[in-house]
Structure 1
Amino acid sequence: MMATDENRPSLRRLLRRFTASEAELDAAELQRESAEQGCTLADQCRRGQVVAVSGRLRTVVYTPRTNLPTLEADLYDGSDVVTLVWLGRRHIAGIEPGRQLTARGRVALRDDRKVIYNPYYELEAPR
């Protein structure tokens, strides 16, 4: 049987799935889920833009500062990372590495990294 043009995209996808690393497959899945929720991909976020981003928390760090403590979490959506920063917080229940969430807010840049300060967020049920 000869391959037709309509079979090639699915064949390419199938071959990509067999040859892709687990990290690449995970990134593709996170991007797909983000798009399904109508969120902006992190690599498309621009400074000053109000966005909704969805993904998985990679790291959560409490930064004690003398004047204002902060809780910072890196949200990865398969395309890039957006750092979520809660000013004046030491801990937030449910904000932990591996947790899926959707965050909304205005994108800022800090040290060439995308940041959302005090985002509105919705935790997704643990899997």
Structure 2
Amino acid sequence: MTTEERTHGLRRFFERLTASEEELDAEELQRDSRKCGAVPATQCHRGQVVSVSGRLRTVAYTPRTNLPTLEADLYDGSDVVTLVFLGRRSIVGIEPGRQLTARGRIAIRDERKVIYNPYYELEAPR
């Protein structure tokens, strides 16, 4: 092992030692997302068909005049993609804290990344 490798290893050790729980969680989510071949949310662009993977932060039923909508914020450690399920009040398994992979076309709504009616796979609860 070279001196440079040892220095980098020590630097990385101290960074992890002093990192907040939130930073460590974000790193873990990014690592898991890469493992399953998902696109990092920060690299998603309008019109692109992507697979994103992460943890649901919030799930909210939004009553609209014509169409009920269930919205879930998926965080992959780098950014958030909002999953919008049109015509749904609830979906079994779509709940805060749940890990999932979603696939669909990225849209932009109110300057936020959105996937409407995504295909999704729930991860087994940990």
2:93 aligns with 94
Instruction: Look up the SS of the partner of 2:3 in the other structure.
Output: coil
1:10 CA displacement: 1.4
Q: Unpaired segments of 5 or more residues in structure 1?
A: none
Aligned residue pairs total 125
Give TM-score scaled by structure 1 length: 0.96
1:34 corresponds to which letter in structure 2?
S
Give the Cα–Cα distance (whole angstroms) in 2 for the partners of residues 88 and 76 of structure 1. Answer: 23
1:23-80 Cα distance to aligned partner (Å, 9 max, x none): 0000000000000111000011000000000000000000111101100000000000
2:13 corresponds to which letter in structure 1?
L
2:69 aligns with 70
1:27 corresponds to which letter in structure 2?
A
Instruction: Look up the SS of the partner of 1:7 in the other structure.
Output: helix
2:122 aligns with 123
Percent identity (aligned): 77
2:48 corresponds to which letter in structure 1?
Q
Give the Cα–Cα distance (whole angstroms) in 1 for the partners of residues 71 and 100 of structure 2. Answer: 14
Question: Which segments of structure 1 move beyond 3 Å, counting only runs of 4 or more?
Answer: none
Instruction: Look up the SS of the partner of 1:48 in the other structure.
Output: coil
2:110 aligns with 111
Instruction: Look up the SS of the partner of 2:5 in the other structure.
Output: coil
> In the alignment, is residue 44 of structure 1 matched against residue 43 of structure 2?
yes
1:9 CA displacement: 1.9
1:13 CA displacement: 1.2
1:106 corresponds to which letter in structure 2?
R
Give TM-score scaled by structure 2 length: 0.97
Matching of residues 12-91 of structure 1 within 5 Å: 12-91=11-90
Give the Cα–Cα distance (whole angstroms) in 1 for the partners of residues 7 and 44 of structure 2. Answer: 32
